[in-house]
A and B are shown apart, each in its own frame.
Chain A
């Protein structure tokens, strides 16, 4: 127990030291983590929100089946996604000619596939609940499907921000997919989670834990930024 506490203490000290020193390698890794995961989140929202909205307001045969599949896909194992993307982007795979394997683009593709179902499934629930509330009003206004979706997405925008954050959280924290398609190449595709895995495998547990703490701080920062946007917007709405 004493050992563990000391380990965490060491890691905390190291994390503070790393952040204060502004280590350029660390900044590069942090920046790439954010770039990859935020881009993946943006793409996942572009795909996931319309899908979630369509399923939320749609009444069609086999809808229950679609819901089950969407919800189950939230549990996609990152390693499996990584392998599937690897097999496609590998030089011997169907998309190998693009030369994307071991680049940040490959990592963005993998994370997008990983979190798009999360965005779709969670937004579907949010939008469906809202739709139930508004459905009579929508009907009285004779809105088209597109107008309905736009109204729902706009009205639910704050809840959907949380949905986006859930996706981002999953993306920035996963290691299984990006280590396969990115290769954890120094100065090219190394991100926070793969750096943590590498330091763990070198037995440098204090540094690994320190990087983990920094990753946690980054996640806090992104969440705080979103929260402040939300609060500013809410305040303006009530002026």
Chain B
């Protein structure tokens, strides 16, 4: 008797879970910075009020987001690694990539600034100086958009940090927040996007040391997942969300989002 009740209630709880997935809902595979900075908490209610479409965000690194979308586990991809995004579209997984918004990367470091890079605006020079002095540097090491950008900048600087991996170059293999926590814990320099940094709550004595190089530009793009590769995609709702983001209204909403009186993302979708 008891066993039957238990089974019935267990089944009810389980199936209740499956029924939760609403029809008018889409899944966005996203980079973490847009989620951790609170941008979605600001944007999604506006979009949902207007269209009734529920947007569920899975926030992972750009590399993982792209892989998940290739497995058809998302309806829209919103990440920041342009060349990988273009490959994604070229391979037929996405219908069309559109520039959405930008901000920039910065290198944060402890107040003591052991490598003496404070105030520099030449990022390759700053990285070379960090490597030269053997100052600690914490890298994402996770194939995320930020990690890809960091590796490209190292390439330009003429240093190969991989040789010092485990020594002064520490690859955390984790998300942006976890890498900031680890880097700050060990007194290492960390490259991060500005949005994550401004909204990050565990800054301790850390400050932005290197910024302002145009090579630190950070472009975000939005791509609806292609129904040809992924028949399960909710095409209309996904397209509606992507269209809204790049519309005048969506772009204005992105520009209006501020943390500590600072704008985190700068809309730059092409006018249509």
Residues of A in contact with B (beta carbons under 8 Å apart): 35-36, 38-39, 42-43, 46, 90-93, 96, 98-105, 107-108, 183-186, 188, 198, 200-205
In the assembled complex, which residues on chain A have CB atoms less than 8 Å from the CB atom of B175?
201
Q: Which of A91, A96, A99, A203 contacts B200 (CB 8 A)?
A: A203
CB-based A-B contact count at 8 angstroms: 100
B66 CB to nearest A CB, Å: 14
Asked if B56 and A188 make an inter-chain contact with CB atoms under 8 angstroms apart, the answer reads yes
User: Does B176 lie within 8 Å of A185, measured CB to CB?
Assistant: no
Asked if A201 and B36 make an inter-chain contact with CB atoms under 8 angstroms apart, the answer reads: yes
Asked whether B271 is an interface residue with its Cβ less than 8 Å from the other chain, the reply is no
Q: A39-B10, A183-B58 are in contact. Are A202 and B36 (CB under 8 A)?
A: yes
User: Is the Cβ of B73 less than 8 Å from the Cβ of A101?
Assistant: yes
Closest 10 CB pairs of A and B: A201-B177, A203-B202, A91-B72, A104-B17, A183-B58, A105-B17, A203-B201, A42-B10, A203-B200, A92-B71
Least CB distance, B228 to chain A, in whole angstroms: 14
Say whether A42 contacts B177, CB under 8 Å: no
Residue among B6, B7, B41, B56 with most chain A CB within 10 A: B56
User: For chain B, which range describes its interface: under 10, 10 to 19, 20 to 34, or 35 or more residues?
Assistant: 35 or more
Q: Which residues of A contact B18 (CB under 8 A)?
A: 98-100, 103, 105
Bound CA–CA A152/B27 (angstroms): 48
8 A Cβ contacts from B1-51 to A: 6-7, 9-10, 13-18, 20-21, 27, 32, 36, 41
Contact (Cβ within 8 A) B200 A185: no
A101 to B255, CA, bound (A): 33
Q: B230 — nearest CB in chain A belongs to which residue?
A: A91
Q: In the bound complex, do residue A201 and residue B58 qualify as a contact, i.e. CB atoms below 8 Å apart?
A: no
Select which of B13, B27, B177 is within 8 A of A203 by beta carbon. B177
- Given known contacts A90-B73, A201-B36, what 5 new A-B pairs fall within 8 Å (CB)? A38-B13, A96-B72, A98-B18, A101-B73, A183-B27
Residue in A closest to B184 when the chains form the complex, CB atoms? A203
The residue that A201 contacts in the complex, of B7, B16, B73, B178, with Cβ under 8 A, is B178
Among B17, B176, B199, the most chain A Cβ lie within 10 Å of the Cβ of B17
B24, chain A: closest CB distance, angstroms = 13
A205 close to B201 (CB less than 8 A):
yes
